[in-house]
Amino acid sequence: MLSTFWQVWIAVITLGSIIGCGVLIQYTSRGMRKEETDQTTGHNYDGIQEYDNPLPRWWVFMFWGTIIFGIAYLGVYGFGNFKGFLTVEVDGEQVTWTSTNQWKAEVQAFEETIQPLYDEYSATPVTELIHNEEALQSGQRLFKSNCSVCHGSNAKGAQGFPNLTDNDWLYGGSPETIKQTITMGRKGAMPAWGAVLGEEGTANMVEYVRSLSGLKHDEAMAEAAAPQFQQICAACHKPDGTGMQALGAPNLTDDVWLYGGSSKQIAFTLKNGRNGNMPAHAEILGNNADAKIHLLTTYVYSLSNE
């Protein structure tokens, strides 16, 4: 709702302009000749003289038509806090037209039209739906609208955002797990160990972690860190470093690095920790969220199971 000031301001500007146009037409029409003449107004522009003739009637009618249209428009759509006569159906009820209500009505009409298709998709298991090209295209459009800002339009991710096209999954790559991730979101937390390990301990642990995935490392430093890894890291990453999907703890023995596998990046992770956040999309996706999540799950699952 607009305040009284803005309500009056809009009313004065809008109605004043319409009334002013009408008064101006009336005023100028009174001083004009009724019929055409050869007389001029006395104005001369580079040899071009202006006849003292009235405005063409079609032109005057056009001005009046514009004024009438403006008044009718205000009556239909309203202005300020004044509600117009036009209504739209939202949630089964006729409500006053606004741009927001018009958008809601169009969205609901679309959702009602597409509902049977959503029902069909939702009733089909993900492992079967990945063979439906139209379903995959719908899932891809949803992905680009809601997920590509983090995971990229090609779903290959970026630093801190997982690549969804490989077979390396923090929480698991089954349809059920992917759907849970999209629906509920995920919060990953790697605690900071800088204060516990110290500078030397951190440097040694970097070498040990690099050794797990076969990267170039210092054997002596890695060996020195092995006991500490079992004490403070194995609970999440397992004693062999293969990770634990139940906790979202990454596998340290492969060549996939969420934040990078260089010595500098691993050291930063150990010292400062990491906090990842995958937002829950159950509410973000709005109407028919369950069906949309099913399509998103199908598309994401297809990326690594084609």
List pLDDT tens digits, range 217-266.
Answer: 999 999 999 999 999 999 999 999 999 999 999 999 999 999 999 999 99
User: CA dihedral in degrees (5, 98, 288, 93; nearest 10)?
Assistant: 110
- Candidates 215, 219, 306, 222; CA nearest to 252 is 215
Averaged pLDDT score across all residues of the chain: 92
Orientation of helix 99-122 relative to helix 289-303, angle to 10°: 60
Q: Tell me the per-residue pLDDT of 171-215, one tens digit each, with 9 for 90 and over.
A: 999 999 999 999 999 999 999 999 999 999 999 999 999 999 999
Cβ atoms within 10 A of the Cβ of 12, count? 10
CA distances from 98 to 3, 81, 84 (A): 18, 11, 9
Pairing mode of beta strands 78-79, 82-83: antiparallel
Cα distance between residue 306 and residue 302, in whole Å: 5
What is the structure's pLDDT at 50?
A: 79
Q: For 61, what's the count of Cα atoms within 13 Å in the CB-facing half-sphere?
A: 3
Res 2 pLDDT > 80: no
What is the structure's pLDDT at 31?
A: 66
Cα distance between residue 115 and residue 10, in whole Å: 42
pLDDT band at 33 (very low <50, low <70, confident <90, very high): low
Q: Are 163 and 259 in contact (CB under 8 A)?
A: no
Res 12 pLDDT > 80: yes
Q: Are 122 and 290 in contact (CB under 8 A)?
A: yes
CATH superfamily of the domain spanning 124-185+280-303? Cytochrome c-like domain (1.10.760.10)
Lowest mean pLDDT among 32-41, 45-54, 96-105, 115-124: 32-41
Among 3.20.10.10, 1.10.760.10, 1.10.150.110, 3.40.50.150, name the CATH number for the domain at 187-278. Answer: 1.10.760.10
Q: In the chain, pLDDT over 70 holds for what percent of residues?
A: 98
The domain segmentation of the chain, as residue ranges, is 4-85, 88-123, 124-185+280-303, 187-278
What is the structure's pLDDT at 284?
A: 93
Cα distance between residue 252 and residue 225, in whole Å: 15
Can you tell me whether residue 275 is helix, strand or coil? strand
- pTM > 0.75: yes or no: no
pLDDT band at 1 (very low <50, low <70, confident <90, very high): low
What is the structure's pLDDT at 222?
A: 96
Fold matches, 124-185+280-303 and 187-278: yes
